[in-house]
Structures are given as C-alpha cells and as structure tokens.
Amino acid sequence: MSTRRQGYSLLIALVAVTAVLAAALATGTALFTDGAGKDTAGDPKGGHTSRGPAARAAAAGHWNTTWAGSPTRPEPSTVPSARPDALTPQATTVRNVVHTSIGGRAARITLSNLFGKTPLVVDRATVERQPVRFGGRSAVTVPVGRQTVSDAVDVAVPADADLTVTVHTPGGGGPVTFHPQAGQTSYVTDGRGTHASTAWRYLTSVEVFSTTATGTVVTFGDSLTAGSGSTVDAESGWPDVLSDRLGGTYAVANQGIPGNRLLLETIGSQSGLLRFDRDVLGVAGVKTVIISLGINDVQNQPSGTDPQLLIDGLRTLAERARAHGLRVVGATLTPFGGRPSWTPQREATRRAVNTAIRTGHLFDAYVDFDRVVRDPYAPARILPDYDCGDHLHFNDAGYRALGHSIDVRAVTDRAAKGAL
C-alpha cells in the first residue's frame, strides 16, 4: 500500500509541475494582446489602461473581480445545427448577461480564445452600451490559446445586479470558447435572428474599480459550486448567498464548472490542478479561495477509490494558494447516495477525504457542507428537502443552507482556524 501511495504522491507532483508549465501555454494569463493581436508583456490584470477618468480613478483604488465564468471547453458546433443555441460562422453578436457581486465606477473585461483554433476577431464590444477599447482601439484580435484584458471603461457598475457585456464578431473562426450550463439567460444574434442561450461565450471576467471592497473571494469547484439544479436566473447558488451576506465588503468570483474533477481532465473541462493558476491565482483582487472539489473524482468513472490521491491533490492546491498569500478554505464532500454511481467503497472514500479535511491539516479553515445537507437518518444521502431530484445536486433551499452555513468573518479573517 505504501508503494501505491508513493506512486500517487509522485503523480500529484508531476501534475503540479505540468500545471505550472501549462499555465503560460494554455491560459494566456501572462500575456495580453493589443488591438493588432500582438502579444504584449505586462500584468494581465492591468490590461491597457486608458488616460481618461477611469485610469485616474484606478490610481487611488483597487480592481476586484465582480464576476467570473471560467472558460470551460470549445463549443461543440459553430455551424448551423438542430441545436437552437449553437453559433453560426456568420457575423454574431453575443449579449452575455452576468450578475455582479460588488459595484464600482469603472470596469474592464477579459475575453478568451483559450480553446479556439483560429484567431478571435472582435470588432466591437460594450459594457452596458458603453464602448470598450483595447489598447485604445475598438477592435482586437485574440491569438489562439490566449486572452485579452480591455482598457478601463467609464461606466457605473451596480452591485448585486445583472450586467450586459456585448461582443460582436465579424464571422468565421472558432471553435468558440464558452461556459455552458451558466444558470443565467444570455442572448445571441446571428443569421437566424436572436435567440436565448444559457451559456457565456468569450467573456470570462468582469472587474470593477472599488473604493469599498477589501478583495475577492474565489469559489473554486464543480457543478455544486456552479449551482446546477438551482432555478435559472434566480442567483440562488451558495456563492450567491455568500455574496449577499458579505454585503459588498468582498467580491465573489464563482469559478465552478459542471463536471469538473480535481485530478483528471474530462471532455467537459480541464482538471482543477491544471486550471487553478488561471481561475484562482489570476483573479483580480483575490484574497481567499474556497475549494469545493473532488466529488466527481469519487463518483464518476474512472473513479479514484484511494482517498490519499484526492487528499494529496487538495493539499497541492492549498500549498499553491498559500505560496501566493491567499487564505485557503476547504469544503467537505457532500453525499450522493441514491445515484447509480454510488457504492460502499466510494462512500468510504468520500468519508475518508472528509475526515482529512476536518482534521484541520489541509486548509486554513473548512466549511462542513456534508454535515449541513446530509440526512441524519441516512448519512450517505442528501436530505430530501434539499435534493433537486438527482441525489447529487441541490435545490434552491439546499444551496441557501450551504451559503448560510459559512461564517463570513472566518472567510475573511486570517486569524480564524477550524470549522466555519
């Protein structure tokens, strides 16, 4: 058994090294592009700062990520199909509707071509109808595998409100970098007219300049963090509840991806180990990360039945976060009894990982999501009142219970230890 676990530890170390090397190649976080598509060295969070009022304001305040939608995978089709929300290769206008956590008096956006096979040309972008510029230009070309950060836009961004970021592409290119199952209705206008879509395209981050917010809390996880099972457009996931309770003192950037796994890459997304640098360390203003990841490694094929592999993976994320000065909060894995994938061995793995989290040695603090939602009479199952019906995801009441179980002072207080 010790030899097997040593092998797992070596695997974790190799994956961590791969993640560091992949960050520059796959995420584009160390480079941004100017209006001509040329790679330009600099701080990706800084982007090209204009000389207008927004730029002068930024000198006296801080940029924080009020919303995030991790680039998940390439859109399966960018040609006409039977799917009503698939993009066509014609000129397309995407109206991404996102929900802010904090407000500010200036904004900037990040556009991604991470999964594209050709350069992404954007000839017009707006934030609430205010024009967005990139290096002083209205158009930008994002190279394959890269992202670009806009200039600061002089626009008042409200807190806890819907915000529309519009992106127009002249056509061609692809596949589109997108985030499906967004839980929010956006709109696409192409050669077939305007239609609704529950996906975000190209847009991966909205930052605001704030004089009141202390920093950003990143919630890093899978579909349970993304809010799968909750009411569309209701903003009722547990990160939304946490944001409401923080009351504007901290921004909340939700980096949950449905189907995401800690250790393995899937068709749906990169592994948590590989995307951590981009989706946590690269977030503007990040001070705290809440890691809620691993249940898909347990319950999906191929299943990781040795808990030490998951424990080592979680420890790797925590160490990388601490190395950048972040506070690290972990969440216990919630039940999935009643699903076809449940087995006694997988349940034992889930409980072993939770035991390791509760010891206090992995994270600076932890939230016991398992305790909040499990049925006390059947601990391998979710309480029926919280179950959306698939025995894994939660309804609005379940997510609300998770959000209210977090001690917001402990999330932001570096002196706090133990359970929240």
Residue 379 pLDDT exceeds 60: yes
What pLDDT, on the 0 to 100 scale, is given for residue 192? 82
SS3 174: coil
Separation of alpha carbons 188 and 85, rounded Å: 8
Q: Which residues contact 413 (CB under 8 A, 6 or more apart)?
A: none
Separation of alpha carbons 215 and 292, rounded Å: 20
Do strands 186-190 and 92-99 pair parallel, antiparallel, or not at all (unpaired)?
A: antiparallel
Residue 30 pLDDT exceeds 50: no
Residue 215 pLDDT exceeds 50: yes
**What percent of the chain stands above pLDDT 90?**
74
Is residue 11 very low, low, confident or very high in pLDDT (cuts 50, 70, 90)? very low
Residue 246 pLDDT exceeds 70: yes
What pLDDT, on the 0 to 100 scale, is given for residue 190? 86
What is the per-residue pLDDT across 306-349, written as a single tens digit (0 to 9) for each? 999 999 999 999 999 999 999 999 999 999 999 999 999 999 99
DSSP letters, 196-244, are: EESEEESEEEEEEEESS--EEEEEEESHHHHTTTSPTTS--SHHHHHHH
What is the per-residue pLDDT across 114-167, written as a single tens digit (0 to 9) for each? 999 999 999 999 999 999 999 999 999 999 999 999 999 999 999 999 999 999
Q: CB-based burial of residue 4 (10 Å sphere; 0-12 exposed, 13-18 middle, 19+ buried)?
A: exposed
**What percent of the chain stands above pLDDT 70?**
80
Residue 24 pLDDT exceeds 50: no
Report the candidate in 285, 249, 260, 236 with the shortest Cα–Cα distance to residue 43.
Answer: 285
Which pTM does this prediction carry? 0.86
Residue type, 333: L
Residue 230 pLDDT exceeds 80: yes
What pLDDT, on the 0 to 100 scale, is given for residue 64? 98
What pLDDT, on the 0 to 100 scale, is given for residue 23? 42
Mean pLDDT, rounded, for 350-354: 98
SS3 88: coil
Q: Which residues contact 92 (CB under 8 A, 6 or more apart)?
A: 168, 169, 171, 188, 189, 190
CB contact at 8 A, 143 and 43: no
Separation of alpha carbons 64 and 70, rounded Å: 16
Mean pLDDT, rounded, for 39-59: 40
The angle subtended at Cα 99 by Cα 168 and Cα 334, nearest 5°, is 120
CB contact at 8 A, 95 and 186: yes
Written as six digits, the tokens of 390 are 């698939």
Q: Which residues contact 418 (CB under 8 A, 6 or more apart)?
A: 360, 365, 366
Written as six digits, the tokens of 189 are 């206008």
Separation of alpha carbons 181 and 156, rounded Å: 28
What's the half-sphere exposure (Cβ side, CA atoms, 13 Å) at 5? 8
